[in-house]
Structure 1
Amino acid sequence: MILYYDPDKQIWFHTEAEQEYTFGVDEIPVPYRNKPSSSSIPFHLGCRKKNNLGPFVGILAGRKNERNIIGNGLLFKKLQEEILEHEGISFVFTLEDLGDQQVDGHLYLPYKEQWLLVKLPIPHLVYNRLPFRKMEQTEQFQSAIRLFQQKDVCFFNPSFLDKFELYKIFSEDARLGRFFPETILIQDRLSLESFLELYKDIYVKPSSAAKGRGIYRMMKDEKIFVQGLKQEHAFSNFDELWNEYKAKLTKRPCIAQKTISPLLHEGNRYDFRVLAHFNGEKYKVTGIGIRQSVEQSVTTHIPNGGRLIPQEEVLKDKDKQFIQEVVQRCGDILTKEIGFFGEFSIDAGLTENEDYVIYEINSKPMSFDENDIEEARVRHLVQLFGYFFN
């Protein structure tokens, strides 16, 4: 059916006489009008039991100030364009916009290429795209979670993932544990020194960092070499290293991870960047991007000097099979241990002996440079929205 929004009076309504409709998770009655005004905006929506219209999908983003919202604006626009084609509505909102009964949402109108601020009911689903961990650590966020639980709103993805917590969870799994490099939480000087002494070659990074930020490679020989994204240092002993890096390694939780000798392609390491989604029954691979280090060997992230290479250069059928098996298992474990993850990504690779390794799992995947993967991402998300509404 057609649901209208009157921007002048800021109300939603329908025009079907002798019909009663509701919208939002609270099943709020939709007012009736005999006809729309010239300024009214029509939306073609699906309808489930009790004539509840939708789906209404809220995309939770961050707020920089009163006027500016932080988030992946291009993804938000593409989601709205796709969900409109599937008889739904998506809108962007922030924690500050959320009330007990309604929310002030930013709704994108593709045919006008503009955003419209509207009042909406509490949505059926909330897609968590808060950009910073600190936003999830506020009482405001916890209050929102309680509201969604109380109203039985489908909420995903529930939070950022902590690297060490993930390692503890997955290292105990009989099927996946062997694919994760040995990892410790750096609790003090002794823990790092002992780990470096044991393996001679390790990675050190913040437990909550992303995109390769704050990562170092430490190698112990006659001297200790520390390689960052842009510079290298050599230290005569661990005392010198600790004095230089103590502040960086203790101001926030950091992990140390055994370095894996990677399989090389044309002289440089490469990784698999895997995007995965739940399809209503199981977790499936949405796309696989290949990233290779070029300017430095610490990370393959493109913003830090990595590059994209075609799948056909390195990806084999057995790799695809392994990745699909890992995606399914990872999704099941994440949902069981942390909460429902409709979407996540995995950074994986191969050792020089061609054994598989899993480096990281991310709950809020960055945009992929491959257009076909981004297009598939939008399609799969909208299909998932429809699954939970119906």
Structure 2
Amino acid sequence: MAMTHMRNLKSGLAGLQAANGPLGQNSSFRHLSRLSIHRTQHVLPVAGQSSSQGLHPPPVLAVLVSSTVDTDPPFGELNLFLQEVIYCAAERHMIAYVVTLPALVSLSPPIAGWTYHNGKWHQAHFPVPNVVYNRIPSRKIEHSSVYQRLKQTLQERNIYLFNQTFLNKWLVHHHLSMADELKPFLPETHRFDGKASLAMMLSKYPTVFLKPIHGSLGRGIYKLNRLGEGFTSVYSTLNGEIVKSFPRFKSLVVYLSKRINKNNYIIQEGIPILQLKGRPVDFRALMQKNRQGKWSVTSMVARIGAENRFVSNISRGGEVAKLVETLQKCQIPEIKQIRRSMITIAKRVCQVIDQSLDDHFGELGVDLALTHSGRIYILEVNSKPSKTDHTLLSNNQETKGRPSVHRLLDYCLYLIMYNK
């Protein structure tokens, strides 16, 4: 069965190869590891220089957050990542700082921001940035008049803002489904309309998922199972799962109608994803634009959910693991081919989103699933991929900075110097 699905996978990837070039292009993990070791290979060559050294004034990157926290250090789970950005930018003769939305919105210099020096965070004043990288963690704040005013002002001043907004699951699915080469990798998905779509999907599949269109971190998801004449609902919380049983379809509909707004959900086919000792496994590809402004894979990891959980999110007790080792433990054949295929699919996903949406993105997290028979599915796309300390780092990366930081700076320099 696995070999049959591998043949089908190779056939289904033919369209992706046509759109993307040779299968696995830009997917060499050995090359990425070299980038993490040799800093000079990360530097964007400009006018004979190996970095932005010699440019006056130097390039300026502002990392936008909504606010600081009351504790020290001030940026919660982003602290280590932001320290790396500031350190690696300085090594390239760039200025990078962290700024809150209220401090940046006027764009009047000097701008009050934060830098990291001698093991401590310090407040200081900085010039107006050339590029703004959005790490605001809240959809509500992104919808605020203050943030919308900032977007407009940045556009008027020709200042680049990337990763401008969170993604809408339904719109993402709609655009991906319009790409013929991606259709084989999409689970059946519909806009949830209540009883009708629920009955239709549960008649076709023994398990379906209800997912909030604007959800993230595994919040708000219902797993619904058809068991004989009855049904179960499983809802994931930070403290565990809430399981309810229903003898009739009508009672399930009543239960859900009291808890969710049908206009804000999608309903999706349940996929028999990989399990490792009873724990769900999926995969996150961190895709970033490189020094040529093209989508490229920076890293790919497995995410293993906590015991007795149906989501693999780190915020719900999951853990990050190495992709190849995890596939070996799951006894998946043709691992190299699977990995190349995942990268090719993820790259095409990013290209389609770029072509379909007006917003500007420089990095995306593409979540993929794999069945035991070798079939790949596209689960979700995240415009604010995790930057927590859970990221797998090698010893060299801990001292040199993780590859995602270097590629982030590559793209910023591309925007500043080659896209004026």
Q: 1:206-225 to 2 correspondence within 5 Å? A: 206-221=212-227, 222-225=229-232
Aligned match of 1:113: 120
Distance apart, 1:158 and its partner CA: 1.5
Distance apart, 1:168 and its partner CA: 0.4
Q: Deviations over 1:230-264 (max 9, x none)?
A: 12110112322233222332176111110011234
Distance apart, 1:179 and its partner CA: 0.7
Q: 1:1-390 to 2 correspondence within 5 Å? A: 46-48=53-55, 51=56, 53-63=57-67, 72-98=78-104, 99-102=106-109, 104-111=111-118, 113-118=120-125, 120-221=126-227, 222-229=229-236, 230-250=241-261, 253-281=264-292, 282-313=294-325, 314=327, 316-338=335-357, 339-367=359-387, 368-372=390-394, 375-390=402-417
Distance apart, 1:106 and its partner CA: 1.8
Distance apart, 1:183 and its partner CA: 1.0
* Contact 2:110 2:128 (8 Å CA) reproduced: yes
CA distance in 2 between counterparts of 1:115 and 1:100 reads 20
Aligned residues: 343
CA distance in 2 between counterparts of 1:383 and 1:215 reads 36
* Contact 1:203 1:215 (8 Å CA) reproduced: yes
Distance apart, 1:64 and its partner CA: 6.3
The TM-score with structure 1 as length reference comes to: 0.81
Which is further off, 245-254 or 180-189?
245-254
Structure 1 stretches of 4+ with a deviation exceeding 4 A read: 64-71
Q: Identify the structure with the greater strand proportion.
A: 1
* Contact 1:97 1:103 (8 Å CA) reproduced: no
Q: Deviations over 1:155-190 (max 9, x none)?
A: 111210111110001011111122111111223333
Q: Which structure has the larger Rg? A: 1
- State the AA in 2 paired with 1:131: P
Q: Deviations over 1:131-152 (max 9, x none)?
A: 1001111121111111111111
The TM-score with structure 2 as length reference comes to: 0.75
> 3-state SS of the aligned residue for 1:336?
helix
Distance apart, 1:108 and its partner CA: 1.1
* Contact 1:283 1:327 (8 Å CA) reproduced: no
CA distance in 1 between counterparts of 2:262 and 2:112 reads 37
Which is further off, 303-312 or 282-291?
303-312
CA distance in 2 between counterparts of 1:266 and 1:146 reads 50
Change (3 A) 1:346 1:385: same
* Contact 1:163 1:207 (8 Å CA) reproduced: yes
Cα root mean square deviation, aligned: 2.5
Between the two structures, name the one with larger relative contact order (CA 8 Å, sep ≥ 6). 2
In structure 1, list runs of 5 or more residues that go unmatched.
1-43
CA distance in 1 between counterparts of 2:296 and 2:306 reads 30
CA distance in 1 between counterparts of 2:112 and 2:190 reads 42
Distance apart, 1:111 and its partner CA: 2.3
* Contact 2:233 2:244 (8 Å CA) reproduced: yes
In structure 2, list runs of 5 or more residues that go unmatched.
1-50, 329-334
CA distance in 2 between counterparts of 1:266 and 1:69 reads 36
**Percent identity of the aligned residues?**
24
> 3-state SS of the aligned residue for 2:413?
helix
Q: Identify the structure with the greater helix proportion.
A: 2
CA distance in 2 between counterparts of 1:103 and 1:191 reads 54
Q: Deviations over 1:340-387 (max 9, x none)?
A: 311111110212321111101100101343124871111211222222
CA distance in 1 between counterparts of 2:151 and 2:157 reads 10
CA distance in 1 between counterparts of 2:386 and 2:230 reads 37
- State the AA in 1 paired with 2:266: I
